[in-house]
Amino acid sequence: MSIEDLKKQAAEKAVEQAQSGMVLGLGTGSSAKYATMKIGELWQAGELTDIVGIPTSESTVMLAIKYGIPLATLDTYPFVDLAIDGADEIDPDLNLIKGLGGALLREKMIEAAAKKFIVVADGSKVVEKLGTRAPLPVEVVQFCWKSTARWLESLGCTPVLRGDEAQPFVTDNGNYILHCTFPHGIDHPTELAATLKNRPGVVEHGLFLGMAAEAIVATADGITVMSR
């Protein structure tokens, strides 16, 4: 079974919790797209009715439009019944690193507004310690981004601009992303999250701590549900 098959299994399992009448947070990335596609199929079949999707990126907007899913924003619907999204790392306490899909700011805004946030992933995303498998994405303003990168380096990581200087990746919000690699993982994620949040020039970071209620993880041996 391929990694894509596992991602699809996990995402479709999560969609079983979607119900008619819900406001649904639609995630971004290689796992979350399968959830949006399944929601779209159920919508088209009339098995899900009276739903509203709140997309976490412009790419998810385009995918949802293909299925005709009614869309809105948090301005209109400030509370989300159920959000489904992927993760780059999941630790045993369901703390996450997210953002390698480039949409971490909108993801965090929408998932923080969700009554329930479910993470979907294949088994390779489960780690004992955050930062051991994936870099930590940090969204920064373009202005003086090299200065911000030097400050990030002082925290013990190696920050690398997503893309390159000639053609950097620009988020839907017009910002850059620095991928921060910690050589021995992240020892104190709560403290790091607070430090990053308080730094001028840092817009948001990919530490999603205490936000996920459930993780649905698919492996070759089947599906595991992790809960907090």
Instruction: Give the Å distances, CA to CA, from 4 to 1, 124, 170, 206.
Output: 8, 12, 26, 23
Residue 188 tokens, joined: 């104190």
A 10 A CB-CB count for 138 gives: 28
CA dihedral 33, 37, 43, 48 (to 10 degrees): -60
Could you give the 3-state DSSP secondary structure of residue 20?
Answer: coil
Residue 20 one-letter amino acid: S
Q: Is 107 a catalytic residue?
A: yes
Spatial distance between the Cα atoms of 70 and 64, rounded to a whole number of angstroms = 8
Exposed e or buried b per residue across 102-117, where buried means at least 16 C-beta atoms within 10 angstroms of its C-beta: bbbbbbbebbebbeeb
Q: Of the residues 12, 89, 107, 111, which is catalytic? A: 107
Indicate which residues carry an active-site annotation: 107
